[in-house]
Amino acid sequence: MTIPAEPRFRHQGCVYGSDAEFLAMAVPFARDGLRRNEPVLVATTAANLELLHAVMGADVDRIAFAEPGYFGRRPTRLAGALHRYWTRHRATAPTGAVRVLGEPARTGGGSEEGAWRRIEAGFNVSLASTTIWLICPYDTRTVDAAVVADACRTHPECVVSGEVRPSALFTSPASEGAPGAAAPPGAAAELFRFEGDLVAVRRHVLDRASPLLRSEHAATMFGIAVGEAIAYLVGHGIDRAAVWVRPAAGRVVCTLHSDRPVAGPAFYGLRHATRTGASLWLTDEICEWLDISSDAAGCTIELAMPAESAAG
């Protein structure tokens, strides 16, 4: 693998379909990092961890191994986890570089796959100031063709048979498309138009969410989460949005959609506050699910907590 003259953030995808293809990427990546005394973290499937333990020999004790859940099972957790790992370990490397082979546990589909795609695209901006060398493996035996195609669009480089190549399909984060908000309910009474009244929108959300949530405490926390999401929009100059609440797949989901996008790529979770002072950090901590997308069609925030029926 080609080593850059100066450490910088590198974001590479690797599509593999066999154990041999995985090892052809992972073994040189890990061994070269160890040779350069760079911290190496491998978080991948249990089967892949066993493969590496079998072939790395004495070097295996110098590698940090983790299950995919190390990075969390939600896209919003991943950038923060990577940044924290880099902050803790960069000083131990003579080059200042930290290597991560990260194959996170992906859950759900549909809008959740869209969130994974956006967070991968977002790494190219949110981690640009780091010196992480990150390889994201995609196993074609377990992920579908659409996910593989997304990987080619969100990674500037790809590792093929151990060789690094520019990705011809790479799309810059600024032009990363968003799927848009789910269609609002047919009944107009279910759709609230936020036009600057924070108290009114929070009351609307709680009136509809409280009967569906597990407890009064859950309803209070849901209201706080939605309030911060509205404040995030306001902090980015957006003072009008459509808001609706619905039960879906064992969750209570609140969607906020504005026809106006936020200025610049919509990232969150890495820091407690953005440079505008508006943050979704607390919303992310409260909710089971959080996603934000922003493009020319507007900005959509979707958040969810477990529904009352999910208790047990």
Tally of CB atoms within 10 A around 100: 24
Closest Cα to residue 13, out of 109, 146, 210, 156?
156
Q: Are residues 24 and 55 in the same domain?
A: yes
Tens of each residue's pLDDT in the chain, 312 residues:
555 556 789 999 999 999 999 999 999 999 999 999 999 999 999 999 999 999 999 999 999 998 877 766 666 667 778 888 999 999 999 999 999 999 876 654 555 677 778 778 878 877 888 999 999 999 999 988 888 898 999 999 999 877 899 998 888 765 444 444 444 554 444 788 888 888 898 899 999 999 999 899 999 999 999 999 999 899 888 889 999 998 987 889 999 999 998 876 555 544 444 444 567 888 888 988 888 888 778 888 999 999 976 444
Domain boundary among 119, 150, 175: 175
Strands 40-43 and 64-66: parallel
Q: Please tell me the pTM assigned to this model.
A: 0.68
Are 299 and 293 in contact by the 8 Å Cβ rule? The answer is: yes
Distance of CA 285 to the CA centre of its chain: 14
CATH number, position 286: 3.30.565.10
Are 144 and 109 in contact by the 8 Å Cβ rule? The answer is: no
pLDDT tens digit string along 142-163? 988 888 898 999 999 999 877 8
Domain boundary among 175, 208, 231: 175
The backbone torsions φ and ψ at residue 99, rounded to the nearest 5 degrees and listed phi first, read -105, 135
pLDDT tens digit string along 156-198? 999 987 789 999 888 876 544 444 444 455 444 478 888 888 8
Are 270 and 215 in contact by the 8 Å Cβ rule? The answer is: no
Q: Are residues 24 and 162 in the same domain?
A: yes
Range of the structural domain that residue 111 is part of? 10-175
Beta strands in the chain (DSSP E): 10-16, 40-43, 64-66, 98-102, 132-139, 157-160, 163-166, 192-194, 241-248, 251-258, 289-295, 298-306
Instruction: Give the number of residues written for the chain.
Output: 312
Q: Are residues 39 and 162 in the same domain?
A: yes
